[in-house]
Structure 1
Amino acid sequence: MRQWLSNIYRLGLKELRSLRADPVLLFLIAYVFSFAVYAVATGAKLEVINASVAYVDLDRSDLSGRIIGAILPPEFDTPQEIAASDIDRVMNDGSYVFVLSFPPRFEADVIAGLQPSLQLNVDATAMVQAGNGSVFLQEIITGEITKFVAGDDTSSTLPIDLIVTAQFNPNLQSTWFSSVMQVINNVTILAILLTGAALIREREHGTIEHLLVMPVTPSEIMLAKIWANGLAIIVAAVLSLWLVVQGILGVPIAGSLTLFVTGTVLYLVSVTGLGILLATFTTSMSQFGLLALPVLVVMNLLSGSTTPMESIPGWLQTVMQIAPSTHFVAFSQAILYRGAGLQTVWPDMLVMIGLGGVFFAIALLRFRQTMAA
């Protein structure tokens, strides 16, 4: 056992030296855990920000003016007036996401209780802004009309006082979600790519023959690659959470980083085993990249890191339970977002241990066959 552990340790040091000597992989690790996290968090926003609004006012009344004046930044840009004949043109060329059209005698019909129609044209190609922005505009319009009819800006016809409390993200900022999830996704991506690339690199450099004549076993080689590349990923992920997520983006980390690192170690056993398994079916880096790409796309898109698991079909939710990324995302969200403790996340950790054993055993079997061949 002592010699076994010594071999794993020394082979792992060799992996770290190989990684240090590869500037491309070092740059990749630094990039995906720094600029890539910042760019996705600040560039791909899910909330409505600076949505463009145009309006056609054929009424020129006090009520239409109140509604237009209530459409304010930062959710919306200052509304721009256009002619009625320009509605189709500006919608077709994408100049505005929303075009609000007030008919003649709009205010008079509201006062008379005739329920006039107010048209809101929406460019639904901007899907997130279209859906959320339409709701916001409807609330603004309803609120202004209600106050106008009541003759009191403070009045409300609602029989209840609805108080909304947003837990874990009080300002509903998508940056809080996307920054942390980008780190989690990058852990999966690099765990597969680095371990697979390490095996491919052994073949391309001809050092796999050196390993075959050494008194080491396939399990020692695999475990060495897992702990060495896993260590690099964990260090990069923790630094990203500290420096980029917390430091630059100002996103708080609610839970224990120690517990998160512990769960990440368990996860890396399975996902790095998957990387080695994929590498055994390829002979070059380009082949490995083509094989890993669809696996990474499915794991990231259907694991709950992009959209909630509840939004995908039930049968697909069941299938994705065999993917370790699904449980790692649930584990990470519980800790990093909601500050959960071990008593909450231990089921996900237990599943990751089980899946890690299965993936490691399959990868080891395939690796032994490849070594023997």
Structure 2
Amino acid sequence: MRRLLIHLGNIGHLIVKELRSIRADPVMLLLVVYAFSVAVYTVATGVKLEARDLTIGVVDEDRSELSRTLLGAFGPPLFKVARVIPASAIDAEMDAGRLVFVLEIPPNFQADLMAGRRTGLQLNIDATAMTQAGNGSVYIQQIIAQEIARATAGREATSTTPVDVVVRARFNPNLDSGWFSSVMQILNNVTLLTIVLTGAALIREREQGTVEHLLVMPVTAVEIMLAKMAANGLVILVAALASLTLVVEWWLGVPVAGSLALFAFGAAIYAFTVAALGILLGTLATTMGQFGLLAIPVFVVTQLLSGATTPMESMPVWLQWTMRLISPTPHFVALAQGVLYRGAGLDVVWPEIAKIVAIGGAYFAFALVRFRKVIFA
């Protein structure tokens, strides 16, 4: 028991030392504040996945009442006011990027439609931005179908089928991508900054020569590692919770459905895991530049294949299993989405927590071996 207290006391003193080192680095502190405040807000308000203010042109060769109705159906907020253009201007307008969609209405469109003859419309799409093009084309087809149904029925009808489909959007009733991107940005920052701060703390000790001071002190490799991981993880965890409360809930107005305490518990375990990864990368690099080059691809791969950017289900099955086996990020994303969006409790998310613990234990063991070999050799 006495030996355990000695170890805990050493870790406590080392944590204080690490916190003082972080406080003495104003650039790093400014980066943390910016990442969890301005960056979260700008991403949530500036990166929109839904279609807004799309540009559309209409080639009206019919000049009928129905074609004018279709022209007036495209407006804010989904579309900017539709522009009537000649057919000869289609290529020039789309090549210059001034129009994303061009709808061509052929001659005698309304007459053929009312007479029951087969007719059609052509929609030209600039598919450079695939998400925007896909969402916009769906909206245009729905608008056209609705207006044609009204014209052919002669009354305000919205469907020609005997079945009414009622859509109920849960957890994000307004389908606002800002609700999603704001929380995911916090998760991304937790991953990136925990790796950077922990690895940079080790690299800084080696570059400044202060690691030799630790080697002559009565402390073990485990104590030094745990202190660096705990101090840097604590800073990121406090910043993440403050961002979730002040920026996401208060500033952006995004409701948090679940328990912040449960999220903080899972985030603390995840921060421990990625901090061990930061220590591991710090032992593989000898300079801050090398560490940065190692950290960037690791972060990019873990985030792009975590489910925070694209659904895990859209990936190949072998890649899904690989990422869930070697990376804790997919499990943390699933945990955060379950708790913060759907109000899930511990009984639902405990498998994800257990997986993060298992992967974190493997990371810590590997990092400890490398730490002893590189620092205490």
Q: Same fold (TM over 0.5)?
A: yes
User: Are 1:7 and 2:10 counterparts?
Assistant: yes
User: Are 1:348 and 2:357 counterparts?
Assistant: no
Aligned partners of 2:226 and 2:77: how far apart in 1? 51
Give the equivalent residue in structure 1 for 2:363.
359
User: Are 1:285 and 2:309 counterparts?
Assistant: no
Aligned partners of 2:158 and 2:303: how far apart in 1? 48
Aligned partners of 2:37 and 2:272: how far apart in 1? 24
Aligned partners of 1:216 and 1:313: how far apart in 2? 46
Give the equivalent residue in structure 2 for 1:196.
199
Question: What one-letter code is carried by the residue in structure 2 that aligns with 1:179?
Answer: S
2:152 equivalent among 138, 149, 154: 149
Give the equivalent residue in structure 1 for 2:108.
105
| Secondary structure, aligned partner of 1:188 | helix
Give the equivalent residue in structure 1 for 2:331.
327
TM-score, normalization by structure 2? 0.98
- Pairwise CA distance, 1:155: 5.7
Give the equivalent residue in structure 1 for 2:139.
136
Deviations 1:290-322 (A, max 9, x none): 011110001100010101100111110010012
Question: What one-letter code is carried by the residue in structure 2 that aligns with 1:25?
Answer: M
Question: What one-letter code is carried by the residue in structure 2 that aligns with 1:175?
Answer: G
CA-based RMSD of the aligned residues comes to 0.9
TM-score, normalization by structure 1? 0.99
- Pairwise CA distance, 1:43: 1.1
Give the equivalent residue in structure 1 for 2:59.
56
Deviations 1:18-42 (A, max 9, x none): 0000011101101111111111111
- Pairwise CA distance, 1:282: 0.8
Alignment of 1:210-229 (within 5 A): 210-229=213-232
- Pairwise CA distance, 1:357: 1.1
Aligned partners of 2:372 and 2:35: how far apart in 1? 32
Alignment of 1:49-198 (within 5 A): 49-154=52-157, 156-198=159-201
- Pairwise CA distance, 1:77: 0.8
Aligned partners of 1:94 and 1:116: how far apart in 2? 29
Aligned partners of 1:106 and 1:337: how far apart in 2? 47
| Secondary structure, aligned partner of 1:46 | coil
| Secondary structure, aligned partner of 1:100 | strand
| Secondary structure, aligned partner of 1:254 | coil
Aligned partners of 2:272 and 2:23: how far apart in 1? 22
- Pairwise CA distance, 1:156: 2.9
Deviations 1:69-99 (A, max 9, x none): 1212111111011111101110111101111
| Secondary structure, aligned partner of 2:58 | strand
Aligned partners of 2:137 and 2:376: how far apart in 1? 63
Cα pair distance change 1:113/1:357, threshold 3 Å: same
1:20 equivalent among 23, 26, 36: 23
Contact kept in structure 2, 1:97 and 1:130, CA below 8 Å: yes
Question: What one-letter code is carried by the residue in structure 2 that aligns with 1:317?
Answer: Q
Extract unaligned runs of 5+ from structure 2: none
Deviations 1:85-125 (A, max 9, x none): 10111011110111111111110010111121211111101
Q: Percent identical across equivalent pairs? A: 59
Aligned partners of 1:277 and 1:151: how far apart in 2? 70
Contact kept in structure 2, 1:191 and 1:230, CA below 8 Å: yes
- Pairwise CA distance, 1:371: 1.7
Contact kept in structure 2, 1:55 and 1:101, CA below 8 Å: yes
Aligned partners of 1:349 and 1:106: how far apart in 2? 60
Contact kept in structure 2, 1:55 and 1:82, CA below 8 Å: yes
Deviations 1:256-289 (A, max 9, x none): 0000000111112211001000100111110000
| Secondary structure, aligned partner of 1:280 | helix
| Secondary structure, aligned partner of 2:171 | coil
| Secondary structure, aligned partner of 1:56 | strand
- Pairwise CA distance, 1:146: 1.2
Contact kept in structure 2, 1:97 and 1:126, CA below 8 Å: no
Question: What one-letter code is carried by the residue in structure 2 that aligns with 1:365?
Answer: V
* Displaced runs of 4 or more, over 6 A: none
| Secondary structure, aligned partner of 1:152 | coil
1:256 equivalent among 221, 239, 259: 259
Q: How many residues align?
A: 373
Aligned partners of 1:57 and 1:72: how far apart in 2? 17
Question: What one-letter code is carried by the residue in structure 2 that aligns with 1:201?
Answer: R
Contact kept in structure 1, 2:146 and 2:158, CA below 8 Å: no
Cα pair distance change 1:199/1:146, threshold 3 Å: same
1:339 equivalent among 318, 337, 343: 343
Aligned partners of 2:39 and 2:332: how far apart in 1? 20
